[in-house]
Amino acid sequence: MSRLKTIYRCQACGHSAMKPMGQCPGCSEWNTMAEEVVEARPGGLAESVAEARGQLSSFSSAVTALRDAGATPEKRTPVGIAELDRLFGGGVVPGQVILLAGPPGIGKSTLMLQAAAKLAEKGPFLYASGEESLRQVSSRAKRLGLSSERLYLVSESSLSKILAAMEQVKPWAMVLDSIQTVTHPQLVSSPGSVGQVRECAAELVRAAKAKDTVVFLLGHVTKDGSLAGPKVLEHIVDTVLYFDTENHELLRVLRAQKNRFGPTDELGLFEMGEAGLKEVKDATSFFAAELGRSAAPGRSVSVALEGSRPVLVEVQALVVSTRYPLPRRMATGLDLNRVLVLLAAMERHIGLRLEDRDCFVSLAGGLRMKDPALDLAACLAVAGSWREKSVPSDMALIGEVSLLGEIGRVPQLESRLREAAKAGFKRALVPARSAKDLPGISGLTVIGASDLREAAEAAFGVDS
Ligand code: TYD
Ligand code: MG
C-alpha cells in the first residue's frame, strides 16, 4: 500500500516543509510554498524497475522504433465552430487536454457551453461546473438556444466527485469550469492555490490520457495579467488558449499560446452579443463597417496583421496650430513613441513643419495595433491633415517607414493586398522593393514608393 501525505514545497528553490509557511526558509521568497501530494512508496528504484520489466507489455505506450511510430495519423474531430477548429488545426484529438484561460467575464463559460452543445452531437459530453449551479448553467443554455440529448451537467467542486461523474457518463469530451474551483481530496489548501490547481489538473490529465477523453480546463487569469493558477499548468496540458479582448471592446480574440497538436500563429475572432459569442468569419467586413469610405484630409487606410490574418484599418490624424509653448502629440491605438519617430522623419525628409502644430493620431474603431506596416498610412494621414489633401479613398497604404524616410518591406504583403482588393480598394501604395516581385492581383494597381517623398507624390499628386 502506498502512503499518501502532503508537503509544502517552494516553487522557487524546491525547499520542502511539513507546514504551510508565508516565507520560504530556503530562499527567503514570500508566498512560494505550494502544497503537494507525495506518495511514499515502499522499496527503492531498483525494485520498481524490476517490477516494471515484468509489465513491459502493459506500458502506456510500448517501446517502439521511430519509423513504426505514428504511422496512423491522429484522428481529429472538428468541434463544429470554425474559429475554434482553425486553432485546433482542424479538430481535437483523443486525450487532448486544453487549457482555456482568460480574465473573468471575457466569455470562457459562454464559449465552452456553445462548444459543448456542438461536441455533444458526437457523443456524451460532461460539463462540470464548480462556479455555477445547475440552474445557472441550464438557464444560460436556454437563453443561448442550446440543447442536446447527450450534454450532461454536474455542479461540483470536489475532484473525486467529478472523476466519479466521468466514470458514470463516460464522456468522449468534457469541460471543467474552472480549474480554480476544484479541490483535491488529499490537499487541505484552499481551492485556486498553486498546489490545488496543479494536483487537480495532473489527475485530470491522467484520466484524459487513460480514457482518451478530450478535456477542456477553464482558468481565470488575474487582471494585472499574472497567471497565478493557469501558468503552472502550461507545461502539463497539450494546448493553451488565451481568450481576451485585446484590440476592441466587442471583439474577443482567442490565441493559441502552446499547441502540441496544431498551429500557434492562428487566432479565432468572436463577437459577444445577445445570443452569446458569434464567430467573426470575415474580419475585414467586421471592421469595414467602421471604416470611412469617403476621402478626407487626415484619413488613410492600411492592412495590418492580426495574428496571421490581414485586417483593414483606418488611421486618422489631426494636425492643428498649437496654443501652447510645447506642441502636443497624442496617439490612440498606435504606439506614441513610434508616432514621434514618424513625425520627426517627416519633418526631416519631406519638410513637414510640425514644431508649432499639435498632432493627434488614432486608429479608428478603438483598435490597438503595433504592426509597423501601418507607418506609411500614419505618415500620410498626418501629411494629408497638414496640407489639407486627401489620400484617394480607393488607395490602401502599406509599408514601414525608416528613420531615413525610406519605405521598408513588411511580411505577408501579398495576403494584405488580396484583403484590400477584396474590400474594394483599386490601388495600393507599397514599398518599391516589394512591388517588383509581386504577382498580379486582379482589380488592384500596385504602386511602389521607395521613400516618403515618392509616397506623398503618389498619394497627393505631383505638386504636393
Ligand atoms: P462568461 O462566459 O460568464 O465569462 P467567464 O466565464 O469568462 O467569466 O461571460 C461573461 C459576460 O458575457 C457577462 O458579462 C455577460 C456576457 N454575455 C453576453 O453579453 N451575452 C450572452 O449571451 C452571454 C451568455 C453572456
Ligand atoms: Mg465562467
**CA triple 105-203-56, angle to 5 deg:** 145
Strands of 214-220's sheet in order across: 151-155, 125-129, 173-177, 214-220, 97-102, 239-244, 251-259, 267-273, 276-279
Q: Which of 99, 110, 180 to mutate to test the pocket of ligand 1 (most atoms within 8 A of CB)?
A: 110
Say what the pLDDT of residue 188 is.
84
Cβ 145 under 6 angstroms from ligand 1:
no
| C-alpha–C-alpha distance, residues 348 and 403, integer Å | 9
Does the Cβ of 276 fall within 6 Å of ligand 1?
yes
pLDDT tens by residue, 185-209: 888 888 888 888 888 999 999 999 9
Q: Does the beta carbon of 377 sit less than 6 angstroms from any atom of ligand 1?
A: no
3-state DSSP assignment of residue 32: coil
In this structure, are residues 118 and 80 in contact, taking their beta carbons and an 8 Å threshold? yes
Residue 457 φ/ψ region, left for φ over 0, alpha for ψ in the -120 to 50 degree band, beta for the rest:
alpha
Average pLDDT over residues 438-458: 94
Q: Which atom of ligand 1 is nearest to the CA of 106?
A: 7
> Each residue of 36-90: pLDDT tens digit?
877 666 666 777 677 767 776 666 667 878 877 766 667 899 999 998 998 898 8
What is the CATH code for 286-460? 3.30.230.10
The rounded mean pLDDT for the chain is: 87
Could you tell me if the CB of 6 is within 6 A of ligand 1?
A: no
> Is the Cβ–Cβ distance between 341 and 375 less than 8 Å?
no
User: Is residue 275 within 6 Å of ligand 1 at its C-beta?
Assistant: yes
pLDDT at residue 103 greater than cutoff 70: yes
pLDDT single digits (tens) 281-309? 776 666 655 565 678 899 999 999 877 77
Closest ligand 1 atom to 144 CA: 22
For residues 315-319, average pLDDT: 96
Q: Average pLDDT of 369-387? A: 95
pLDDT at 414: 93
CB 252 within 8 A of CB 277: yes
3-state secondary structure of 399: coil
- What pLDDT does 337 receive? 97
What sign has the CA pseudo-torsion 180, 181, 187, 188? Answer: positive
Cβ of 107 below 6 Å from ligand 1? yes
* Three cell numbers written together for 457: 507624390
Look at residues 215, 266, 208 and name the one whose alpha carbon lies nearest to residue 99. Answer: 215
Question: Are the CB atoms for 395 and 459 separated by under 8 Å?
Answer: yes
Phi, psi for 456 (deg, rounded to 5):
-65, -40
Taking the centre of ligand 2 as the mean of its atom positions, its distance from the CA of residue 4, in whole angstroms, is 33
Which residue's CA is minimally distant from atom 14 of ligand 1?
Answer: 105
* Contact residues for 179 (Cβ-Cβ < 8 A; gap 6+): 99, 197, 200, 201, 217, 218, 219, 229, 230, 233
pLDDT higher than threshold 90 for residue 13: no
The CATH number that domain 76-281 falls under is: 3.40.50.300
Q: What is the DSSP string of 74-106?
A: PPPB--S-HHHHHHTTTSB-TT-EEEEEE-TTS
> pLDDT by residue (tens digit) across 243-296?
888 656 677 888 888 888 887 767 788 988 888 899 887 766 666 555 656 788
Domain borders along the chain are 4-52, 76-281, 286-460
99 close to ligand 1 (CB < 6 Angstrom): no
Q: What is the CA radius of gyration of the chain?
A: 28
pTM: predicted TM-score of the whole model, two decimal places:
0.73
Cα 147-148-150 angle, rounded to 5 deg? 150
Query: Which pLDDT band holds residue 1 (cuts at 50, 70, 90)?
Result: very low
Q: For residue 348, which amino acid is it?
A: R
